[in-house]
Structure 1
Amino acid sequence: MATFYDEMAVMALEMIAEFGQPVIIRATAAGEYDPETGTAPVDTVIEQTAQGILLDFTGQEFQNNSLIKQGDKKLKIAAQGLEWVPELLNKVIVQGRTWSIVPPLKEINPAGTPILYELQVRS
């Protein structure tokens, strides 16, 4: 039987899918250097598609948080259905534009059930 928070995670995904847009989350893993050959293999890139909403920060948020720079955006991503959790070194692609994830990365996770990730992104 699904818990209340499982149902909320599904509802968040449905709402973001309806009012948001597809977002690609890209992770890159560097190949390990081989000192014997003096080379490293090509980096490995993995991607997953998520549903997200890209928003502007409010004036109040700029006043309260000195880490927000002009041009930064807030990206809310539904947690339901993700293969892996977004991390600070990942990139996100929204509407053909590539953004870096900068701290803080927030997880809305009541009772241990991830519902939403709120990212600060910068291009």
Structure 2
Amino acid sequence: MAFYNEMALLALEMISEFGQSVTICATTVGEYDPETGSAPPNTVIDQTVQGMLIDFTGQELQNNSLIKQGDKKLKIAAHGLDWVPGLLNKVIVQGRTWSIVPPLKEINPAGTPILYELQVRS
């Protein structure tokens, strides 16, 4: 396990050096209260992480019909995350907001998360 922890740290160092800051936003919808007839406002939680926004290759576009024109691949270092990104989260990179679309991949040999690979769409 120590080896994979070192790999997670190395992934963070490399993405920090060659990538950029990315904000992941998670929105929690307020639960409807039938007694008051209303719901509290939504809660938004942000976390800033290190990531790399990359174009899909021509081969990937040919082999995967779920990738649309303009979609990007976002690789995020797993080490130090407060929470894991999910499909309902939004991602802000360079001032542009992206939605996460399936698949969301977690690279985690031996159960130690090293990297998350997201397909994002604006």
Aligned match of 1:43? 42
Tell me which residue corresponds to 1:30.
29
Does residue 21 of the first structure (1) align with residue 20 of the second (2)? Answer: yes
Q: Report whether the alignment pairs 1:113 with 2:112.
A: yes
Percent identity of paired positions between Structure 1 and Structure 2? 82
- Aligned position for 2:79: 80
Structure 1's consecutive aligned runs of 4 or more residues displaced over 6 angstroms after TM superposition are none
The aligned amino acid for 2:85 is P
Q: Tell me the amino acid that sits aligned with residue 45 of structure 1.
A: V
What count of residue pairs does the alignment treat as equivalent? 122
Taking the aligned partners of 1:58 and 1:10, their CA distance within structure 2 comes to 27
Amino acid at match of 1:31: G
The letter for the 1-side match of 2:82 is: E
Which residue pairs with 2:10 in the alignment? Answer: 11
Gaps of 5+ in 1: none
Give 1:36 deviation, angstroms.
1.1
